[in-house]
Amino acid sequence: MRVRARAACKLTTSVIAPNLELALRDVDDAVRKGADVVELRVDFLRDDAARGTLGDAIEALIKASPVPVIVTNRPTWEGGQDDGDESARLEALWRAHECGAAYVDCEALAAERFFAAKPATATLRNGKTKIILSSHNYDETPNDEILAEIHAKCVRLGADIVKMASVCNAVEDVARLEKLLRTKGREIETIVLGMSEHGQVSRLLAAKFGSFLTFGAIRRGEESAPGQPLLEELRDLYRVPTQTAATKVMGVIGNPIGHSKSPALHNPCLAAAGVDACYVPLLVKDIKTFLASPLFGSKDFVGFSVTIPHKEDALECCAEVDPVAKQIGAVNTLVRQPDGSLKGYNTDYVAAIEAIENAMEKKTGVAAAKSLAGKTVVVIGAGGAGKALAFGAKFKGANVVIANRSVERAQALADACGGVAVSLEDLASGSVVGDVLANSTSVGMQPNVEDTPTPASVLGGFSVVFDAVYTPLETRLLREAKASGCEIASGLDMFVGQAARQFELFTGKEAEVELMRDAVLSSIKR
């Protein structure tokens, strides 16, 4: 078997404009945003097709593009827009071939018809145009055996490059795509793409995994496939052009995960510190299954941030747990040890308590380190973040009250930390009094920004109100607390503080806190 040299992964975008004029605009935009290759989706050129100028439009774009062009004319039966005559569809691809397109993409299911339709004047190996044979599965990612069979068929049919795209119904499906690249991609240039949010990591780590290219959208809302990130994100945030097989990976595990600003925070700091690593979002249904995956359980994945709803289950996945995290009963940080096992930490509680102490100092004038001693802290929520807040407050000498939708869970946490349990109805009635109100739930997070965990009428009874939610920066809870005369503490302070400690645990380097804060603020404003 001939083992090919590994080539750099190409940043690619799909041009899905309805006519040549807009397509040329998009090509210029794509190149400016970092595209190494552009894909012309002929099946979207409806205006030119209607005018009978489709062939001329293909030729004009190939000649005008400053970067290599992939020409694709995807039929409706494989997720595209072309519902016309099959011979005319394939004829457009051969026109692209004759015009010197760098690549022509044909569906594996149509490969035999495509090659049979080759014009007599066409030279198949013209030295310019490479044939991509592609397979798309919009239902699932098949098992290893089926993926290998499809790949082998594409090679047998005459592919220069094989493209395999499939919907990932769980993030663990990406492991099969990575395995295909690791094995079959050594023989022939191969593209693998996991569609859906579960599969997005295959796109973000395409260069590390060895994919020939990866796709990014030119603009938000113009994605040509599910789970496609922006082209600029691939270039600047995830640094695909500098990834290699040796690049280490960190990520944030959660469900949902699309709202997370952790990648926007960690990746600039990794770049500034000169660390060859990439930090990615990971939509995970079951953390135990995820960590048992041969890919995500490997030593290349050196650390994970853990968010809702996995913080308590994550503790059970650790071979070793930091004593404070063990007492809290939840971890938000997993660090890979030299033997491949995981050690769990909780960086939430220090960051949250520091944010609250600083707000209390502003309100009372008492030094932050002593400002919670003897105070009553009412924590909304009894999940992982709630546990961190409750134990953190207790460590500082505060009296702790837990308010939760499930009184049973509130009581369990209260018993564990030596506090008192109440219902959310008790809190809403005004019968619960205290010095600090701390929301640890996701209530009020984008997109549900008008939700709030408790009525404004009770806020005036507290000196400080803290909200762990940081998108938006000022939640309805904080807005109403400020109007009630409370000192407020934003979830941004907690988020940046806990992330800085995570960064140090992941890399052994000190975090640039202000860079982290600026990166998050910039991301939120976008």
Confidence at residue 128, expressed as pLDDT on a 0 to 100 scale: 87
Tokens of 107: 């569906």
Mean pLDDT of the chain: 95
Confidence at residue 3, expressed as pLDDT on a 0 to 100 scale: 58
Distance CA 466, CA 471 (A): 14
DSSP bridge partners of 134:
107, 163
Give phi and psi for 388, each to the nearest 5: -60, -45
What string of DSSP letters covers 298-338?
STTEEEEEE-TT-HHHHHTT-SEE-HHHHHHT--SEEEE-T
- Is the Cβ–Cβ distance between 290 and 168 less than 8 Å? no
| Predicted confidence (pLDDT) at residue 6 exceeds the cutoff of 90 | no
Distance CA 388, CA 469 (A): 15
| Predicted confidence (pLDDT) at residue 1 exceeds the cutoff of 60 | no
Distance CA 526, CA 520 (A): 10
Mean pLDDT of the 25-32 span: 98
315-337 pLDDT, tens digit per residue, is 999 999 999 999 999 999 999 99
- Is the Cβ–Cβ distance between 355 and 494 less than 8 Å? yes
Sign, CA torsion 344/350/352/353: positive
User: What pairing do the DSSP bridges indicate for beta strands 161-167 and 103-107?
Assistant: unpaired
Tell me the three state secondary structure of residue 451.
coil
Give phi and psi for 385, each to the nearest 5: -70, -35
Mean pLDDT of the 401-430 span: 97
Angle 384-356-465 from CA coordinates, rounded to 5°: 90
Give 478's contacts (C-beta < 8 A, 6+ positions apart).
465, 467, 488, 490
Distance CA 398, CA 308 (A): 26
- Is the Cβ–Cβ distance between 278 and 304 less than 8 Å? no
Residue 485 buriedness (CB in 10 A; 0-12 / 13-18 / 19+): exposed
Domains of the chain: 10-245 (3.20.20.70), 252-346+497-525 (3.40.50.10860), 365-489 (3.40.50.720)
Confidence at residue 297, expressed as pLDDT on a 0 to 100 scale: 98
Instruction: State how far Cα 87 lies from the chain centre.
Output: 40
User: What pairing do the DSSP bridges indicate for beta strands 420-423 and 399-404?
Assistant: parallel
Mean pLDDT of the 171-191 span: 97
Write out the catalytic residue numbers.
136, 163, 311, 348
238-253 pLDDT, tens digit per residue, is 999 999 999 999 999 9
Tell me the three state secondary structure of residue 394.
helix
Tokens of 168: 């990932």
Tell me the three state secondary structure of residue 359.
helix
- Residue 505's pLDDT band (cuts 50, 70, 90): very high
Mean pLDDT of the 164-190 span: 97
Percent of the chain with pLDDT over 90: 93
Confidence at residue 366, expressed as pLDDT on a 0 to 100 scale: 86
Confidence at residue 459, expressed as pLDDT on a 0 to 100 scale: 98
Tokens of 467: 């909200």
83-113 pLDDT, tens digit per residue, is 999 999 999 999 999 999 999 999 999 999 9
| Predicted confidence (pLDDT) at residue 126 exceeds the cutoff of 90 | no
Confidence at residue 7, expressed as pLDDT on a 0 to 100 scale: 76
- Is the Cβ–Cβ distance between 465 and 486 less than 8 Å? yes
Give phi and psi for 313, each to the nearest 5: -65, -30
Distance CA 310, CA 385 (A): 11
Quick one: which of 22, 121, 57, 140 has its CA closest to 73?
57
Give phi and psi for 326, each to the nearest 5: -65, -40
Mean pLDDT of the 195-213 span: 98
Confidence at residue 370, expressed as pLDDT on a 0 to 100 scale: 85
Integer CA distances (angstroms), 147 to 127, 158, 164, 177, 339, in order: 29, 17, 8, 8, 32
What is this structure's pTM?
A: 0.92
Q: What is the largest CA-CA distance in the chain?
A: 89
Q: DSSP strand E in 84-182: where?
A: 103-107, 130-137, 161-167
Distance CA 383, CA 299 (A): 29
Percent of the chain with pLDDT over 70: 98
363-386 pLDDT, tens digit per residue, is 999 887 788 999 999 999 999 999
